[in-house]
């Protein structure tokens, strides 16, 4: 079954059609064979009839010759001698016809089948010559002669019977039988004639012949009856109209026959009998010819009909066969062709030739299918076109997006790329990456590997950890991003020009899709320019601030005061390095103390005149020295100090330069220098005090009086300021009480410092400094001095108040625990004393506990020339 | 109500954090000044949220965090530190911290960080 299903359509048709064709051809073959047999039989019968008729003609003449021969013999040759010759001639001519016929080529095939029968007949016909010789010699008995002729005729009639009696055609067979019966009846009639001739010739009939005669008549009648039973109506009618019993000659025959039966007066002439009887036999002959012809005609028609039938059938058969083949071929070819067409178009369509259409014109199912196929193809084409358009549009959009992103990635200033879950850099990254890192191996690199050459290992370790947390969906992005280790980082890139320092900012943000972290977008900006600019600006700002401060200091401060300060400061600072150079490097402690005092002194002055920049620098140096104190020092340690001092020296040098420029301005616009310098000095002091009092959180008033208009000479402005500043510092630290303490003792919250300038008769400048603080606490001074080991306990007990007061001028004495810019480290009063001493001046102090502190300083004005400054 | 433990060696910092968390549907169940005390409180009270300083005497924040995670792994720990070293911060995340804040903290930044910490069911 499966094999049948799998056959191609062509083979399926073959499987259906070939058995049908075989069956039809087989059926046809039998039909043709049958018709051909029938035709051949008809032809054979026809030929047998023709030959039979010829034999019958011979038989008829032999019958006549037999009768005449009987008469001739019975009359011993006296009668019928003429008739016998004539009759023999006629008989021979019919025999000749017969011999002619059997060699007729038309009968060749037929004769082959019946050769034996015909040969047998010819043998008997040959006997005739012997019989005729005996008759001529009158050596044969008339009965014997009749017997001989009858034997020949019997064989002849039997032969006819053999020839025509085998036919499958029922109608023909019936006619043939009727004819044979009739022929046999006629033969009996003919023998009856011969016997009659004998009887009438001898005028008597013996009893043997009489019996024979009766039998003949009876046989004759029964054959006629049989003929009339089976013959067709036409033949019967013809017989009845031709042979009319009881009428005319036939009635005479009956009378003559009855005479023979009665053996009575057989006087009638034998010739008369022959004549009358022959008439009857001739009528029979007429009937015989009629029915013979009829059969002949019938068989001829039958042969023609069967021949026609055969050829018509064959022709029709071939015609229908060819027609069927042609139609079948057309249909099958059309079907297979259509199927093939469909198949090939479907294949074409399948491989993408969507414009292809099937052209099948038949209106059958395949045609319908082709129409459906074309409709489907149209639909597919439509949707195909729509899809194509959409695809083109999508491609256009995609390309546009790609192009735009490429343009963006090509031109954006930031480094942008994506990190995948393995921390690898995406294939697509912005061009800026290459510029920022001077590196082209970026795509698909592990980001940490990529960053390795640029950042420190600790940051690298942190970066790896950081990326892991970024990809951890349990971690909040903002929380993780706070820990970005390379948020702002300094990187070093190597270029052909050397190592390049860059500052970059790296930002990370998650890219989530379907609630899953797909990538991390990394944005890197090069902030080098901005950072450098900021640094430059900060530096510039610092420089500007310094310069401004310097400028302000210069403008604020009396130029002569400032000039003196700068000159002295430089000189003092240089003395430090000179001392260092003089040192053999063993006694650093002394050198350090010396340095400290010098620096501290300059600092005091700088505070007073308000050169903050220098104050701060000097304070830093003091801090450094403090750290070195009490430690084993080396030259190197000291060099650091010297280096710092040098930087201060430079600032001072800068200020001197500036000052010269300012001095130029002053020269151009001269004024009463001293007055101006006084005002500037006092202003400087007041400002200094304000600043200092704010620092310590005490409110102090400054009053200055100069009733005699004492002008502070240039060479005293600096010492004056130095002294004042130290005193003010002490007042603020130790003198002026805390506000609540002042309220308790009934003082104003606001403290007061007064400075008075005077000129005495000894040509001395008298400076009176006084505050309304708590005065000197002698007990505390004494305790401190003891603590610092300035005096022994023994000495302390015996000290008078004045002597205790003097302890504050001792180097190393300090009542303040903490060191700052304004209160001393116990160097303050020692410094004041040393300045006054250096100017050959004098001083006195007085104080009342809880009320005031006063110091009167006298400086000689006479030796101004000696100490004139630059 | 969500319970909070504040761990910081600076009393000012402790007070600042506590002050900024009041009126915020959180219950501060303790403020301690070092890691050892912190572990005791965690063991005893199992607070939902712990703010943890990194630099502390006796026991540093990372060691303390490890201890907390061992005793009470469900705790949401927020690191609040002045330490600018990112590696230590990342290490804290590694050890199980879920929030991170730099000092000094403002009321706003603290509340934002708490919102974030509590809204995430981690």
pLDDT tens for each residue of A150-168: 999 999 988 888 888 777 7
Beta strands, E only, A514-657: 516-526
Long-range contacts at A181-184 (CB < 8 A, ≥ 24 apart): A181/A223, A181/A224, A181/A226, A181/A227, A181/A230, A182/A223, A182/A224, A182/A227, A182/A231, A182/A239, A182/A284, A182/A287, A182/A288, A182/A291, A183/A56, A183/A59, A183/A157, A183/A288, A184/A157, A184/A219, A184/A223
Q: Give dist(CA A818, CA A409) in Å, integer.
A: 63
**Residue B120 contacts A where some CB pair is shorter than 8 Å:** yes
Task: Determine the distance in angstroms separating the CA of B58 from the nearest CA of chain A, rounded to an integer.
Answer: 25
Residue with the bigger pLDDT between A420 and B1: it is: A420
Which pLDDT value is given to residue B42?
93
Nearest to residue A74, comparing CAs of A195, A212, A216?
A195
Residues B90, A479: C-beta atoms closer than 8 Å:
no
**Average pLDDT score over residue span A819-842:** 73
Nearest to residue A823, comparing CAs of A727, A739, A681, A702?
A727
**Average pLDDT score over residue span A511-518:** 90
Q: Which residues from chain A sit within 8 angstroms of residue B93, using beta carbons?
A: 465, 469, 475, 479-480, 483
Q: Which residues from chain B sit within 8 angstroms of residue A489, using beta carbons?
A: none
Residue with the bigger pLDDT between A856 and A678: it is: A856
**Residue B109 contacts A where some CB pair is shorter than 8 Å:** no
Q: Which residues from chain B sit within 8 angstroms of residue A485, using beta carbons?
A: 86-87, 90
Which pLDDT value is given to residue A866?
42
Q: Which residues from chain B sit within 8 angstroms of residue A459, using beta carbons?
A: 86-87
What are the residue ranges spanned by the domains of chain B? 2-119
Q: Give dist(CA A820, CA A172) in Å, integer.
A: 173
Coil, strand, or helix at residue A644? helix
Strand arrangement of the beta sheet that strand A751-759 belongs to:
A700-705, A751-759, A764-771, A852-860, A842-848
Which pLDDT value is given to residue B5?
94
Name every residue whose Cβ is closer than 8 Å to that of residue B103 and which is 6 or more positions away in sequence. B13, B80, B81, B82
Residue with the bigger pLDDT between A741 and A682: it is: A741
Whether the Cβ atoms of residue A733 and residue A823 lie closer than 8 Å to each other: yes
Q: Give dist(CA A835, CA A85) in Å, integer.
A: 223
Residue with the bigger pLDDT between A660 and A275: it is: A275
State the average pLDDT for chain A.
84
Nearest to residue A298, comparing CAs of A290, A287, A286, A310?
A290
Which candidate from B87, B94, B122 shows the least CB-CB separation from A485? B87
**Average pLDDT score over residue span A420-437:** 90
B116 to chain A: closest CA residue: A476
Which pLDDT value is given to residue A869?
40
Which pLDDT value is given to residue B49?
93
Q: Which residues from chain A sit within 8 angstroms of residue B94, using beta carbons?
A: 465, 469
Which pLDDT value is given to residue A505?
93
**Average pLDDT score over residue span A549-572:** 77
Domain B2-119 belongs in CATH node 3.90.1150.170: no
- Both tokens assigned to A412: 């954006």
For chain A positions 333-392, those within 8 Å of chain B (CB to CB) are none
Chain A and chain B share a number of CB contacts under 8 A equal to 47
- Both tokens assigned to A819: 């060191």
**Average pLDDT score over residue span A445-456:** 91
- Both tokens assigned to A136: 């001529």
Q: Give dist(CA A690, CA A359) in Å, integer.
A: 115
**Residue B116 contacts A where some CB pair is shorter than 8 Å:** yes
Cα-flanking dihedrals φ and ψ of residue A441, to 5°? -90, 90
Cis peptide before A750 (omega within 30 of 0): no
Which pLDDT value is given to residue A300?
85
A669 has pLDDT over 60: no
Residues B102, A482: C-beta atoms closer than 8 Å:
yes
**Residue A474 contacts B where some CB pair is shorter than 8 Å:** yes
Which candidate from A469, A474, A478 shows the least CB-CB separation from B90? A469
Whether the Cβ atoms of residue A837 and residue A743 lie closer than 8 Å to each other: no
Q: Which residues of chain B have pLDDT under 70?
A: 120-122
Whether the Cβ atoms of residue A809 and residue A830 lie closer than 8 Å to each other: yes
Q: Which residues from chain B sit within 8 angstroms of residue A480, using beta carbons?
A: 93
Question: Please, which pLDDT band fits residue A562 given cuts at 50, 70 and 90?
Answer: confident
- Both tokens assigned to A41: 């039989």
- Judge if ipTM > 0.90: yes
Residues B87, A476: C-beta atoms closer than 8 Å:
no
A274 has pLDDT over 50: yes
Residues B100, A466: C-beta atoms closer than 8 Å:
no
Residues A475, B93: C-beta atoms closer than 8 Å:
yes
Using a pLDDT cut of 70, give the percent of chain A over it.
93
Whether the Cβ atoms of residue B41 and residue B50 lie closer than 8 Å to each other: no
Residues B99, A476: C-beta atoms closer than 8 Å:
yes
Task: Determine the distance in angstroms separating the CA of B77 from the nearest CA of chain A, rounded to an integer.
Answer: 12
A868 has pLDDT over 50: no
**Residue B89 contacts A where some CB pair is shorter than 8 Å:** yes
- CA distance to A51, A287, A511, per residue, from A293 (Å): 12, 10, 124
Dihedral angle computed from the Cα positions of residues A224, A227, A232 and A238, in that order, rounded to the nearest 10 degrees: -30
Place of tokens 């009575």: A264
Residues B98, A483: C-beta atoms closer than 8 Å:
no
Long-range contacts at A859-864 (CB < 8 A, ≥ 24 apart): A859/A716, A859/A719, A859/A720, A859/A764, A859/A765, A859/A767, A860/A762, A860/A763, A860/A764, A860/A765, A861/A713, A861/A759, A861/A763, A861/A764, A861/A765, A862/A763, A864/A713, A864/A715
Residues B90, A458: C-beta atoms closer than 8 Å:
no
A870 has pLDDT over 60: no
Residues B99, A479: C-beta atoms closer than 8 Å:
yes
**Residue A515 contacts B where some CB pair is shorter than 8 Å:** no
Of A316-325, A432-441, B63-72, which one has max mean pLDDT? B63-72
Which pLDDT value is given to residue A321?
86
Q: Give dist(CA A523, CA B54) in Å, integer.
A: 30
Which pLDDT value is given to residue A548?
77
Q: Give dist(CA A202, CA A138) in Å, integer.
A: 16
Question: Please, which pLDDT band fits residue A864 given cuts at 50, 70 and 90?
Answer: very low
- Both tokens assigned to A718: 């600096």
Q: Give dist(CA A780, CA A54) in Å, integer.
A: 202
Which pLDDT value is given to residue B48?
92
| C-alpha R_g of chain B | 13
Counting every residue written for chain A, the total comes to 870
């Amino acid at each position: 079954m499966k094999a049948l299903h799998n056959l191609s359509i062509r083979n399926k048709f073959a499987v259906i059609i070939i058995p049908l064709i075989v069956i039809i051809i087989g059926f046809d073959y039998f039909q043709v064979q049958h018709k051909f047999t029938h035709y051949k039989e008809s032809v054979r019968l026809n030929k047998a009839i023709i030959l039979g008729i010829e034999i019958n003609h011979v038989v008829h003449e032999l019958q006549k010759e037999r009768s005449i021969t009987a008469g001739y013999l019975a009359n011993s040759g006296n009668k019928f001698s003429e008739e016998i010759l004539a009759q023999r001639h006629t008989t021979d001519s019919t025999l000749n016809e017969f011999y002619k016929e059997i060699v007729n080529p038309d009968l060749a095939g037929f004769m082959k089948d019946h050769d034996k029968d015909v040969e047998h007949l010819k043998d008997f016909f040959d006997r005739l010559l012997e019989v005729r010789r005996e008759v001529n010699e009158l050596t044969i008995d008339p009965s014997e002669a009749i017997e001989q002729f009858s034997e020949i005729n019997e064989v002849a009639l039997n032969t006819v019977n053999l020839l025509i009696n085998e036919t499958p055609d029922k109608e023909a067979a019936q006619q043939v039988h009727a004819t044979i019966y009739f022929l046999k009846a006629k033969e009996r009639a003919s023998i009856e004639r011969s016997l009659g001739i004998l009887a009438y010739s001898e005028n008597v009939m013996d009893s043997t012949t009489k019996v024979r005669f009766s039998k003949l008549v009876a046989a004759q009648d029964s054959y006629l009856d049989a003929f009339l039973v089976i013959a067709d109506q036409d033949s019967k009618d013809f017989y009845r109209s031709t042979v009319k019993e009881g009428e005319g000659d036939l009635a005479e025959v009956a009378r003559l026959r009855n005479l023979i039966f009665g053996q009575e007066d057989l006087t009638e002439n034998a010739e008369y009998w022959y004549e009358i009887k022959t008439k009857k036999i001739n009528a029979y002959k007429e009937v015989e010819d009629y029915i013979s012809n009829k059969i002949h005609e019938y068989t001829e028609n039958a042969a023609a009909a069967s021949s026609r039938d055969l050829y018509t059938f064959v022709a029709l058969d071939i015609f229908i066969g060819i027609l069927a083949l042609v139609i079948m071929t057309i249909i099958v070819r059309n079907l297979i062709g259509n199927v093939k067409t469909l198949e090939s178009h479907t294949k074409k369509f399948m491989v993408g030739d969507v414009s292809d259409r099937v052209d099948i014109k038949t209106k059958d199912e395949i045609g319908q299918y082709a129409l459906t196929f074309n409709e489907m193809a149209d639909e597919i084409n439509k949707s195909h076109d729509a899809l194509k358009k959409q695809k083109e549009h999508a491609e256009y959009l995609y390309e546009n997006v790609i192009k735009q992103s490429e343009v963006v990635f090509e031109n954006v200033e930031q480094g942008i790329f994506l990190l995948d879950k393995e921390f690898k850099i995406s294939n697509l990254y912005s061009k800026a990456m290459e510029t920022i890192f001077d590196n082209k191996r970026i795509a698909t690199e592990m980001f940490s590997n990529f960053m390795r050459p640029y950042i420190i290992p600790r940051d690298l370790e942190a970066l790896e950890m950081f990326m892991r947390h970024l990809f951890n969906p349990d971690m909040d992005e903002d929380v993780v991003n706070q820990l970005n280790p390379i948020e702002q980082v300094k990187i070093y890139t190597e270029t052909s020009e050397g190592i390049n320092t860059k500052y970059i900012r790296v930002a990370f943000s998650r890219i989530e899709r379907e609630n899953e972290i797909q990538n991390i977008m990394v944005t890197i900006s090069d902030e080098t320019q901005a950072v450098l600019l900021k640094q430059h600006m900060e530096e510039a700002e610092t420089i500007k601030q310094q310069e401004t401060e310097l400028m302000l200091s210069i403008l604020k401060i009396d130029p002569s005061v400032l000039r003196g300060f700068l000159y002295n400061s430089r000189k003092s600072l240089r003395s430090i390095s000179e001392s260092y150079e003089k040192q053999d490097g063993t006694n650093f402690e002394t050198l350090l103390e010396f340095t400290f005092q010098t620096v501290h002194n300059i600092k005091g002055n700088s505070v007073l005149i308000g050169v903050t920049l220098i104050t701060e620098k000097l304070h830093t140096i003091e801090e450094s020295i403090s750290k070195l104190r009490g430690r084993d020092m080396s030259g190197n340690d000291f060099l650091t100090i010297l280096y710092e001092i040098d930087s201060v020296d430079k600032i001072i040098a800068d200020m001197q330069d500036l000052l010269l420029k300012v001095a130029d301005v002053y020269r151009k616009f001269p004024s009463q220098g001293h007055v101006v310098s006084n005002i500037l000095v006092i202003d400087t002091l007041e400002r200094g005090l304000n600043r200092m009092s704010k620092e310590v959180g005490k409110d102090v008033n400054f009053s200055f009086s100069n009733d005699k208009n004492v002008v502070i000479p240039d060479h005293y402005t600096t010492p004056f300021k130095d002294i004042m500043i130290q005193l003010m510092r002490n007042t603020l630290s130790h003198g002026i009480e805390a506000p609540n303490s002042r309220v308790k003792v009934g003082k104003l919250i606001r403290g007061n410092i007064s400075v008075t300038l005077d000129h005495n008769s000894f040509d001395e400048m008298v400076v009176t400094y006084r505050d309304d603080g708590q005065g000197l606490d002698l007990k505390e001074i004494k305790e401190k001095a003891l603590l610092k080991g300035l005096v022994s306990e023994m000495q302390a007990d015996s000290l008078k108040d004045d002597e205790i007061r003097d302890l504050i001028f001792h180097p190393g004495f300090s009542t303040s625990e903490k060191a700052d810019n304004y209160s001393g480290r116990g160097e303050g009063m020692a410094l004041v004393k040393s300045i006054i001493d250096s100017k050959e001046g004098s001083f006195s102090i007085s104080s009342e506990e809880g009320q005031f502190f006063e110091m009167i300083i006298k400086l000689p004005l006479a030796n101004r020339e000696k100490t004139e400054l630059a | 109500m969500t319970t909070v433990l504040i761990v910081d060696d600076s009393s000012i910092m402790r007070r600042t954090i506590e002050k900024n968390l009041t009126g915020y549907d959180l219950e501060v169940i303790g403020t301690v000044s070092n890691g050892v005390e912190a572990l005791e409180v965690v063991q005893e009270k199992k607070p939902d949220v712990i703010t943890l300083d990194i630099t502390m005497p006796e026991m540093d924040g990372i060691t303390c965090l490890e201890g907390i995670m061992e005793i009470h792994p469900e705790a949401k720990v927020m690191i609040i530190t002045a330490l600018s070293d990112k590696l230590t911060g990342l290490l804290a995340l590694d050890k199980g911290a879920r929030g991170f804040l730099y000092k000094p903290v403002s009321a706003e930044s603290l509340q934002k960080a708490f919102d974030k910490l509590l809204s995430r069911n981690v």
